[in-house]
Structures are given as structure tokens and as C-alpha cells.
Amino acid sequence: MGPKKIDKFACCNALKTVALKQAIAGMGFEALLLGIRRDEHGVRAKERYFSPRAQDFTWNVGAQPPELWDLYATVDEAAHDRIHPLLHMTELDVWRYVRREGIPVNPLYLAKDGKRFRSIGCAPCCAPIPSTATTVDEIIAELEASREPERAGRAQDKENAFTMQKLRSLGYM
């Protein structure tokens, strides 16, 4: 296992999706509350607040149930549901919310030796970005001026076209 031994797609699928499947089956979960957001990635931008998943985890992006206003589809025959309450928040919204509510943050998000993580996943495939932001206020100021996408440091998004779509259609978050 690990991206040096197998390709990134296979590694991501095994470490995240397959592991998640085992956890859901083992714990008997009916729903997962997830913090994914539309502005993170063009494929996540197509999500719904309530997203039903089949037994094999597949996400049929082209045939999602209608979701009108805030009348969400809360009753279904899906194997499990993914619930995405933060879907409409942007990266800046999250940091402004963290500041307003005084929420503790993982220190990896704060700059150390001129670098910080802007998006955190598996260690081998996440790279820090150059940054001097050591406080939440400085992160907000940095993002307000940045033109780099949030997940620029995430290798699986870039490996080849549609990797994120393939991962998500199999159940990746």
C-alpha cells in the first residue's frame, strides 16, 4: 500500500473508500454527516445536501433525486445516506466561522518554517503550501488575496482527468 507502490487512484480507493465501507458495515451506520463543500472541487459542486448511496456505495451523479428548496429527501430506500450540511460554505466562510466561534484548529493548518497545510488528507499525497500565516486572522487575510485553488496540494486531484469523479462514484467522500 502507499502511492509509491501502487497508483494514487488505487491507493486512495483502498485507504479511504474500502476502509470506509468496512467501517459503515461494521458499525451499521445508516447515515454519514460529512463536511464536504461545493467550492472544494468541481465534482463536489454537484452534490446534494442529502445524497443516497446504493449498497455498493455508488453515487449516480447524473440521476440524483430532486432537492427543492430545503425540503430534503429524508426518507429513502438507500443503503446509507450522505448528509452534507456545509455544502454551500466556502473555504473563507469556514475560517471566518472558526474565528467567530473560537473553534480550535489542527496546528498543521498554521504556518511553520514558511509552510502550512491548506487541505489535509493522507500524509503521502498532501503537500504544504508556502505561507507565513500563523494565526486564523492571517489565514483569512492570506485566502482573501490568494488565487490558488484550495486543493492545490492534494495529489489525487491532479493525477489525471476525472480521478475525483471516479473516486467519488465509488464512494470516496
Partner 1 sequence: MSPLVTDGGEKPLLRIAMVGHVDHGKSTLIGRIRHEMSALPGTAAVDASVAGNWAFVTDQLQEEREREMTIDTTQTFLDTPVCRLVFIDVPGHQELIQNMLSGATRADAAVLVLAGDEGVQVQTRRHALLLAMLGIRTVIVAVNKMDTLDRREDAFRALEHTAVEELRALGIEVSGVIPVVARDGDNVVQRSEAMPWYDGPSVMEAIGELELTVAPVDALRFPVQGVLRHDGQATVVGRVLSGSVAEGDALTVCPSGAAVTVRAVRRFPEDHAPAQTGESVGLVLDGPEPGRGDVLAPAGDLPHVTRTPAGRVFWLAQTPLALGEEVALRCATQAVPVRVAAIADRLDSATLEPLPAEGALASMQLGTVAFAAERAVVVEPFDRMAGLGRFVLERRGTAVGFGIVG
**Shortest spacing between CB 126 and partner 1, in angstroms:** 18
Q: Which is nearer to partner 1, 30 or 93 (CB)?
A: 93
**Shortest spacing between CB 117 and partner 1, in angstroms:** 17
The four Cα atoms 62, 68, 70, 71 give a dihedral, to 10 degrees, of -100
Q: Which is nearer to partner 1, 77 or 113 (CB)?
A: 77
Contact footprint for partner 1 (CB under 8 A) = 38-39, 41-43, 45-46, 48, 61-62, 64-71, 73-77, 88-90, 92-93, 96-97, 99-100, 140, 143-150, 161-162, 165
**Shortest spacing between CB 40 and partner 1, in angstroms:** 11
Residue that the C-alpha cell 451506520 belongs to:
29
Q: Which is nearer to partner 1, 56 or 144 (CB)?
A: 144
DSSP states along the chain: --TTTS-HHHHHIIIIIIHHHHHHHHHT-SEEE----GGG-TTGGG--SEEEE-TT----GGGPPP-BTTB-------SEEEE-TTTT--HHHHHHHHHHHT----GGGS-BTTEE-SS---GGGB--EE----SHHHHHHHHHH--S-GGGGBGGGTSSTTHHHHHHHTT--
Q: Which is nearer to partner 1, 5 or 147 (CB)?
A: 147
**Shortest spacing between CB 42 and partner 1, in angstroms:** 3
Q: Which is nearer to partner 1, 56 or 70 (CB)?
A: 70
**Shortest spacing between CB 75 and partner 1, in angstroms:** 4
